[in-house]
Amino acid sequence: MKAFLIDRYTKGGALRMGEVSEPELRETDVMVQIHATSVNPLDAKIRDGEFKLILPYRLPLILGNDAAGIVVRVGSKVSRFKPGDEVYARPSKDRIGTFAEFIAMDEADVAMKPKNLTMEEAASIPLVALTAWQVLVERGNLKSGQKVLIHAGSGGVGMIAIQLAKHLRATVATTTSTANVDLVRSLGADIVIDYKKDDFEKVLHGYDVVLNSLGTDTLEKSLRVLKPGGKLISISGPPDPAFAKKNGSGWLLRQAMRLLSFGIRRKARNRHVSYSFLFMAPSGEQLRQIASLIEAGVIRPIVDRVFPFEQTNEALAYVETGRAKGKVVITVK
Q: Concatenated DSSP letters for 29-45?
A: EEEEEEEEEEE-HHHHH
Cβ atoms of residues 254 and 302 within 8 Å: no
Query: pLDDT-based confidence at 101, cuts 50/70/90?
Result: very high
Query: Does the pLDDT of residue 323 top 90, yes or no?
Result: no
Q: What is the mean pLDDT of residues 223-243?
A: 94
pLDDT digits (tens, 9 = 90+) for 161-191: 999 999 999 999 999 999 999 999 999 999 9
Cβ atoms of residues 207 and 114 within 8 Å: no
pLDDT digits (tens, 9 = 90+) for 184-210: 999 999 999 999 899 999 999 999 999
Taken in order of first residue, the domains within the chain and their CATH numbers are 2-125+301-331 (3.90.180.10), 128-277 (3.40.50.720)
Quote the pTM value: 0.96
Q: How high is the pLDDT of residue 237?
A: 83
Q: Percent of the chain scored above 70 by pLDDT?
A: 100
Q: What is the mean pLDDT of residues 89-96?
A: 96
Query: Does the pLDDT of residue 324 top 90, yes or no?
Result: no
What rounded mean pLDDT belongs to the chain?
Answer: 96
Q: How high is the pLDDT of residue 12?
A: 94
Query: Does the pLDDT of residue 246 top 90, yes or no?
Result: no
Q: What is the mean pLDDT of residues 240-253?
A: 86
Q: How high is the pLDDT of residue 247?
A: 83
With a CB cutoff of 8 Å and minimum separation 6, the contacts of 154 are 176, 177, 180, 183, 184, 325, 326
Q: What is the mean pLDDT of residues 304-320?
A: 97
Q: Percent of the chain scored above 90 by pLDDT?
A: 89
| Beta strands, E only, the chain | 2-6, 16-19, 29-39, 61-62, 67-74, 86-89, 102-106, 110-112, 147-150, 171-176, 191-194, 207-212, 226-234, 274-277, 303-308, 327-331
pLDDT digits (tens, 9 = 90+) for 28-57: 999 999 999 999 999 999 999 998 888 889
Q: What is the mean pLDDT of residues 317-324?
A: 91
Rg (CA), the chain: 19
With a CB cutoff of 8 Å and minimum separation 6, the contacts of 262 are none
Q: How high is the pLDDT of residue 255?
A: 92
Query: Does the pLDDT of residue 249 top 90, yes or no?
Result: no
Q: How high is the pLDDT of residue 297?
A: 97
Q: How high is the pLDDT of residue 232?
A: 98
Higher confidence at residue 247 or residue 16?
Answer: 16
Q: How high is the pLDDT of residue 248?
A: 83
